[in-house]
């Protein structure tokens, strides 16, 4: 292991990155993904156009309808129409949902009997529909708590479960930390994949093949610039998250920083493995994007919390490092259990294993010969 | 000289085909060994095996260390230097000359002392790169890139120097300079130098040559010994039916024919080898044009054409006429402006100054340029064929581009395939075929729309001797049958002799425009065209 060889390669890489303007991509892409997705994906639904058909016109039913009228999430309209007419409104895309309060609503409740509320939701966009449904459940729960006669229905706990550490119900809090996990998986992997495959495509890889430069020296020299440059992104992304998106940061910064560095190693390992097997830059980039972006997005917890996944995808999620890292991320931002939690220590260990295995495989498969 | 290189039964195999089969030879220090053969004949495979960058079977012993795979060769790499094939292949486009020198010194861990510094200065001086120390490698000319690559390979004073076609695609002047550096190094360092080349003339500078054909070493020995061995088969140009190949004013045959023996050329060795395998030149017959066109005496005329790239003058006031049925050779060193000039003629670059006339009409508007393109056939340096389409599909695609009807296209492709002898390859993929065959259907693609002018940008680089001989036969027939005007660039000076007229460019300016015979008359001392060429550039 000769420091001089490594240094020469690192200086060369950095010079090339700057002169080919690739450095712009290193810093532009992560921030761009964060901004695009951070502003672009909205799980939150506001101003859902709601038609309320109140057949009871009682104290309890008014209490409930008032809640809808005063919420920013609903644009409630007390309907004077038949159910069929109301349904027609949804068909015409003039309304998002219909809430029907049956005639004997208050009477049944006062008698301690179960009462049902009818709810029709436009399911054209299932996620949006689910979100609206959970809002309605929330409102109903709140209203029923206020009414002294508490008639809890089963299954309402679900809402609480999701919102517990995001009391403000802010999308940013749920999205942005997850996005950091995605960005730090994709961007360093692409850079690492390019750095080696570019030499194969150009032919300069011969300088490595035909010289006494060792495999270890070559890999350290290739990965170090990518690692150092992307380490800065850990801080940049943190600043975007906390200042621009105003996501609270409750946990330990040290944990955030160290686990992120570890995670970058994993990303670099993926990129390195890909650049060992591919021959052209375009193939390397496409493959890296497929291998990192898709599972990264699916299992980041942005779309759906891992705990809410069904069996197959729940198991699948455990194969991808992003699940472990994002758990730590959400903890540091929103929960702040830190290393007091056994799960977090375990997950740190898993991340470490991933890094060791990926980098080890890359070193093993890299050969100083043409193929 | 104690250090020796033994190569024993070395075979390099790729998926589906063999790179080199059972190569066996041994070498002494201080020798320059030439590996000569066409593209794909196994030179690179063998050089890669020796340099320890390619898996092989067999054994190689260098400096008393035996190795059977790249891993075992690792400890020897500090004594070796490899310059792989391809112009500027090992250079980083955005790094300057100086940064390259620093980088290579660092990765080879060369102590930076006075000895090294003076050696480095000497190398730079030999390569003529002293004045370009801060220029980025991507902005050097091809010849300079090769010289820089060589300097970078020489920095650690390798005892075993492996150079894979360092001179291919490099102009004659740079070639001579590269050879001067090599000769100097051999004297200074006593290294074994293995050089592969596609230029037969360079064989004269080597102590020992190995001839390659189809993955085998077909002959080895000193140049004079090899030429002597071929003498018995070489005759003065004589008409001869089968079992003969006539090339370069000589007829080669293994039969006894009634003619005088003459001294053979090295190309002849390949022709004799081909004869031995029972191969002869396929006879080619180009038929007349389908669309009769009236071609005027002057097909194309460039008047005072110039091209500027910012402050750099690529072409300066160039006049040129292309006549009906004329083959014009456009020659010049790398970076002299040949490609720029052709691109202007093709309508790919706008003309900054001057006028261009095609069939008597001035080319000005975009519509004119479209018209221009429909009259021109162009074969680029790299034969722009689609790798994932068969030869037939490629040709149909090009025919469609020129709006030929399906039947017409099919019929023309068939007749060309027959005339140029590649019918059996129509369903093969270009990457599986030898360069010489690819070259033949590249020219077909350029001829499908029956142009009046044909531009050929280094069509013969890397192509084997026989294919080159056939290529020139095609050009000769085209000129006679079609009255087409042909403009060709080449770095093979011997090919200039087949041109009716040669135009020499130097630093963007035209320095000569005459027939080879006229040039010989004005340069009586020159023995061949290469010397005339060099007189213009020295």
Interior angle at CA A202, CA B7 and CA B384, nearest 5? 100
Handedness of CA A243, A244, A249, A255 (dihedral sign): negative
Q: Kindly report the backbone phi and psi dihedral angles of residue B10, in degrees, each rounded to the nearest multiple of 5, phi listed first.
A: -80, 125
Domain ranges of chain B: 4-221, 225-276, 298-537
Q: Does B57 touch chain A (CB under 8 A)?
A: no
Number of structural domains (chain A) is 2
Residue A165, CA distances (Å) to A37, A250, A331, B387 in order: 21, 11, 10, 57
Tell me which of A130-139, B109-118, B146-155, B208-217 is least confident: A130-139
Cβ atoms of residues B489 and B458 within 8 Å: yes
Q: Tell me, which fold does domain B298-537 have in CATH?
A: Rossmann fold (3.40.50)
Tens digits of per-residue pLDDT, B255-274?
878 788 888 887 888 888 88
Residue with tokens 């037969």: B200
- How far apart CA B347 and CA B360 sit, in angstroms, is 16
- Sign for the pseudo-dihedral over CA of B450, B453, B455, B456: positive
Cα distance between residue B55 and residue A199, in whole Å: 20
Q: How many interface pairs between A and B have CB atoms less than 8 angstroms apart? A: 86
Q: Which CATH number is A60's domain given?
A: 3.40.1710.10
> A100, A135, A163: which is the final residue of a domain?
A163
Antiparallel, parallel or unpaired: β B485-489 and B327-332: parallel
Q: In DSSP terms, which residues pair with B61 in a beta bridge?
A: B6, B66
Q: In what order do the strands lie in the sheet with B327-332?
A: B376-379, B453-457, B485-489, B327-332, B501-506, B509-514
Asked if A59 and A176 sit in the same domain, the reply is no
Nearest to A5 among B74, B93, B106 (CB): B106
Tens of pLDDT, residue by residue over B417-431, are: 887 778 888 888 887
Domain boundary among A163, A189, A217: A163
Both A242 and A125 in a single domain?
A: no
B4-221: which CATH architecture?
Answer: 3-Layer(aba) Sandwich (3.40)
| Residue numbers of the domain that contains A296 | 3-41+170-365
Of A7, A8, A212, the CB nearest to B77: A212
Question: Whole-number mean pLDDT of chain B?
Answer: 86
DSSP A244: I
Nearest to B385 by CA among B451, B431, B338, B419: B431
Check CB contact of B374 with chain A, cutoff 8 Å.
Answer: no
Identify whether the C-beta of residue B420 lies closer than 8 Å to the C-beta of residue B444: yes
| Domain end among A105, A136, A163 | A163
Structure tokens that stand for B373 in this block: 């393109």
Instruction: Please determine whether the domains at B4-221 and B298-537 fall in the same fold group of CATH.
Output: yes
Whether residue A83 sits in one domain with residue A36: no
Q: Are B250 and B269 in contact (CB under 8 A)?
A: no
Beta bridge partners of B486: B327, B454
- Residue A371 within any structural domain of the chain: no
Q: Are A248 and A334 in contact (CB under 8 A)?
A: yes
Lowest mean pLDDT among A271-280, B158-167, B461-470, B495-504: B461-470
3-state secondary structure of B459: coil
For B491-510, how does the pLDDT look when each residue is reduced to its tens digit (9 = 90+)?
888 788 889 999 998 888 89
Question: Is residue A109, in this structure, part of any structural domain at all?
Answer: yes
Q: What is the mean pLDDT of residues B296-311?
A: 86
Lowest mean pLDDT among B43-47, B64-68, B120-124, B272-276: B272-276
- Regarding whether A63 and A9 lie in a shared domain, the answer is no
Q: Do B94 and A207 touch (CB under 8 A)?
A: no
Dihedral Cα B156, B157, B162, B164, nearest 10 deg: 70
Cβ–Cβ gap A206/B94 under 8 Å:
no
Q: Which of B485, B530, B534 is nearest to B511 (CA)?
A: B534
- Beta-bridged to residue B81, according to DSSP, are B161
Whether the per-residue pLDDT at B74 is higher than 60: the answer is yes
Residue B331: burial class (beta carbons within 10 Å; 0-12, 13-18, 19+): buried
Pick from A45, A50, A49, A64: nearest CA to A141: A64
Q: Which residues pair with B305 in a beta bridge?
A: B318
Report CB contact under 8 Å: B84, A206.
Answer: yes
> B251 in helix, strand or coil?
strand
Looking at the structure, tell me whether residues A185 and A321 fall in a common domain.
Answer: yes
Contact at CB, B90 and A19, closer than 8 angstroms: no
Same domain for A174 and A220, yes or no, is: yes
Task: Specify burial of residue B249 (Cβ count, 10 A radius: 0-12, 13-18, 19+).
Answer: exposed
Query: Does residue A78 sit in the same domain as residue A175?
Result: no
How far A356 CA lies from chain B's nearest CA (Å)? 24
Cβ of residue B79 closer than 8 Å to a chain A Cβ: no
Q: Are A213 and A286 in a shared domain? A: yes
Sign of CA dihedral A121, A127, A130, A136: negative
Kindly state whether residues A218 and A358 are assigned to the same domain. yes
CA distances from B292 to B409, B410, B419 (A): 17, 20, 19
Q: Are A26 and A71 in contact (CB under 8 A)?
A: no
Residue in this structure with the two tokens 């270890």, named with its chain if needed: A216
Quick check: helix, strand or coil at residue A191?
A: helix
Please say whether the beta carbons of A338 and A256 come within 8 A.
no
Q: Tokens representing B191?
A: 């290294």
Q: 3-class secondary structure for B197-229? A: ECCHHHHHHCCEEEEEECCEEEEEECHHHHHHH
Which residues of chain A are modeled with pLDDT < 70? 42-43, 147-170
Instruction: Collect all residues of chain B within an 8 Å Cβ-Cβ radius of residue A209.
Output: 51, 53, 70, 82
- Nearest CA of chain A to the CA of B56: how many Å? 11
Sign, CA dihedral A252-A258-A261-A266, equals: negative
**Are A30 and A72 members of one domain?**
no
| Predicted complex ipTM | 0.79
Report in angstroms the alpha-carbon separations of B358 from B322, B403, B484.
10, 21, 13
Question: In B42-95, which ranges are continuous DSSP H helix?
Answer: 43-51, 70-73
What phi, psi does B436 have (nearest 5°)? -60, -35
Q: How far is the C-alpha of B126 from the C-alpha of B131, rounded, in Å?
A: 12
Q: pLDDT > 70: what percent of chain B? A: 98
- What tens digit of pLDDT does each residue of B173-209 get? 888 888 888 888 888 888 899 999 877 778 888 888 9
Q: Is some CB atom of chain A closer than 8 A to the CB atom of B110? A: no
Hey, how many other C-beta atoms are within 10 angstroms of the C-beta on A290? Answer: 11
Q: Do A290 and A201 fall within a single domain?
A: yes
**Which residues fall within 8 angstroms of residue A324, CB to CB, at 6 or more apart?**
A347, A350, A351, A354
Query: If you write DSSP's letter for every residue of A285-351 in order, what string do you get?
Result: HHHHIIIIIHHHHHTSSSSS-GGGS-HHHHHHHTTSHHHHHHHHHHIIIII--GGGSHHHHHHHHHH
Tell me if B308 sits within 8 A of B352, measured CB to CB.
Answer: yes
Contact A206 B108 (CB under 8 A): no
At B537, give phi and psi (nearest 5°): -100, -20
Residue A156 lies in a domain: yes
Helix (H) or strand (E) holding A260: helix A253-277
pLDDT at residue B106 is higher than 80: yes
Band (B81; pLDDT cuts 50, 70, 90): very high
Mean pLDDT score across all residues of chain A: 85
pLDDT of residue A160: 35
The encoded tokens of residue B75 equal 């400890």
- The DSSP line for A111-147 is TT-----EEEE-TTSHHHHHHHHHHHHHHHHHHHHHS
Same domain? For A209 and A352 the reply is yes
Residue B316 has pLDDT above 90, yes or no: no
CA distances from B388 to A147, B391, B428, B430 (A): 74, 9, 10, 8
Per-residue pLDDT at B2 exceeds 70: no
| Model pLDDT, residue B185 | 84
Give the end-to-end CA distance of chain B in Å, rounded to a whole number.
36
Backbone angles phi, psi at B535, to 5 degrees: -60, -35
Residues of B in contact with A203 (CB under 8 A): 84, 86, 89-90
The band of B351, judged by pLDDT with boundaries at 50, 70 and 90, is confident
């Amino acid at each position: 292991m000769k420091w001089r060889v490594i240094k020469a390669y690192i200086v060369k890489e950095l010079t090339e990155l700057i002169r080919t303007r690739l450095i712009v991509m290193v810093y532009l892409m992560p921030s761009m993904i964060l901004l695009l997705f951070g502003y672009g994906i909205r799980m939150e639904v506001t101003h859902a156009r709601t038609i309320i058909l109140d057949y009871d016109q009682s104290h309890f039913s008014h209490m409930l309808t008032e809640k809808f009228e005063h919420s920013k999430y609903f644009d409630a309209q007390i309907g004077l129409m038949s159910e069929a007419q109301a349904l027609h409104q949804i068909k015409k895309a003039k309304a998002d949902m219909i809430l029907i309060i049956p005639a004997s609503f208050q009477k049944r409740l006062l008698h301690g009997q179960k009462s049902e509320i009818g709810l029709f939701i436009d399911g054209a966009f299932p996620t949006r529909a689910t979100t609206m449904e959970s809002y309605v459940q929330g409102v109903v729960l709140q209203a029923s708590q206020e009414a002294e006669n508490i008639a809890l229905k089963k299954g309402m706990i679900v809402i609480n479960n999701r919102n517990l550490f995001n009391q403000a119900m802010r999308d940013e809090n749920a999205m942005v930390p997850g996005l950091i996990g995605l960005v730090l998986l994709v961007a360093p992997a692409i850079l690492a994949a390019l750095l080696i495959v570019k030499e194969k495509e150009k032919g300069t890889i011969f300088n490595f093949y035909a010289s006494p430069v060792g495999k270890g020296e070559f890999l350290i020299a290739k990965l170090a610039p990518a690692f150092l440059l992307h380490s800065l992104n850990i801080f940049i992304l943190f600043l975007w998250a906390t200042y621009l998106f105003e996501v609270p940061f409750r946990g330990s910064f040290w944990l955030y920083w160290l686990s992120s560095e570890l995670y970058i190693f994993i990303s670099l390992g993926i990129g390195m493995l890909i650049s060992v097997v591919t021959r052209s830059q375009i193939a390397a980039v496409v493959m890296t994007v497929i291998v990192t972006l898709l599972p990264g997005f699916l299992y980041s917890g942005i779309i759906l919390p891992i705990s809410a996944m069904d069996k197959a995808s729940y198991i699948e999620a455990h194969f991808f490092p992003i699940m472990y890292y994002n758990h730590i991320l959400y903890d540091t931002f929103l929960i702040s259990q830190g290393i007091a939690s056994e799960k977090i220590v375990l997950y740190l260990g898993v991340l470490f294993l991933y890094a060791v295995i990926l980098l080890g495989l890359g070193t093993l498969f890299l050969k100083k010969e043409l193929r | 000289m104690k250090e020796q290189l033994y190569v024993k039964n070395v075979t390099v195999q790729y998926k589906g085909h063999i790179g080199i089969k059972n190569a066996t030879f041994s070498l002494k220090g201080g020798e320059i060994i030439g590996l000569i053969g066409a593209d794909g004949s196994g030179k690179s495979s063998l050089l890669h095996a020796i340099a320890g960058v390619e898996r092989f079977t067999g054994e190689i012993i260098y400096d008393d260390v035996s190795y059977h795979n790249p891993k075992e060769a690792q400890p020897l790499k500090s004594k070796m230097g490899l310059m792989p094939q391809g112009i500027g292949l090992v250079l980083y486009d955005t790094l300057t000359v100086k940064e390259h020198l620093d980088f290579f010194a660092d990765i080879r861990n060369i102590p930076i002392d006075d000895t090294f510094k003076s050696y480095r200065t000497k190398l730079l001086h030999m390569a003529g790169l002293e004045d370009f120390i801060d220029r980025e490698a991507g902005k050097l000319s091809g010849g300079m890139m090769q010289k820089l690559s060589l300097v970078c390979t020489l920095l650690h004073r390798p005892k075993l120097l492996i150079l894979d076609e360092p001179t291919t695609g490099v102009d004659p002047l740079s070639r001579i300079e590269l050879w001067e550096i090599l000769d100097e190094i051999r004297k200074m360092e006593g290294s074994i130098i293995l050089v592969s080349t596609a230029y037969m003339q360079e064989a004269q500078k080597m102590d020992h040559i190995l001839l390659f054909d189809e993955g085998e070493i077909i002959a080895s020995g000193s140049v004079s010994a090899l030429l002597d061995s071929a003498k018995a088969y070489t005759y003065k140009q004589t008409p001869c039916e089968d079992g003969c190949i006539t090339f370069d004013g000589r007829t080669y045959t293994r039969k006894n024919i009634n003619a005088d023996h003459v001294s053979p050329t090295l190309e002849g060795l390949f022709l004799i080898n081909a004869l031995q395998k029972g191969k002869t030149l396929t006879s080619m017959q180009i038929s007349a044009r389908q669309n009769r066109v009236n071609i005027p005496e002057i097909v194309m005329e460039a008047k005072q054409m110039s091209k500027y790239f910012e402050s750099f003058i690529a072409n300066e006031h160039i006049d040129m006429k292309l006549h009906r049925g004329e083959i014009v050779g456009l020659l010049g060193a790398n970076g002299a402006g040949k490609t720029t000039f052709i691109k202007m003629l093709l309508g790919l670059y706008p003309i900054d100054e001057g006028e261009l006339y095609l069939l008597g009409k001035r080319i000005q508007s975009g519509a004119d340029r479209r018209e221009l393109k429909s009259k021109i056939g162009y074969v680029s340096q790299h034969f722009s064929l689609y790798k994932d389409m068969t030869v037939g599909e490629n040709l149909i695609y090009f025919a469609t581009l020129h709006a030929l009807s399906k039947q017409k296209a099919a019929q023309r492709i068939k007749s060309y395939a027959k005339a140029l002898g590649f019918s059996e390859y129509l369903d093969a993929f270009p990457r599986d075929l030898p360069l010489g065959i690819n070259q033949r259907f590249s020219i077909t693609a350029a001829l499908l729309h029956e142009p009046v002018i044909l531009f050929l940008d280094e069509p013969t680089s890397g192509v084997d001797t026989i294919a080159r001989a056939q290529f020139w036969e095609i050009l000769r027939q085209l000129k006679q049958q079609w009255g087409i005007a042909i403009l060709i660039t080449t770095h093979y000076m011997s090919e200039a002799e087949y041109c009716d007229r040669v135009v020499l460019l130097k630093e963007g300016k035209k320095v000569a425009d005459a027939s080879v015979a006229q040039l010989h008359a004005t340069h009586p001392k020159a023995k061949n065209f290469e010397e005339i060429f060099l007189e213009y550039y020295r």
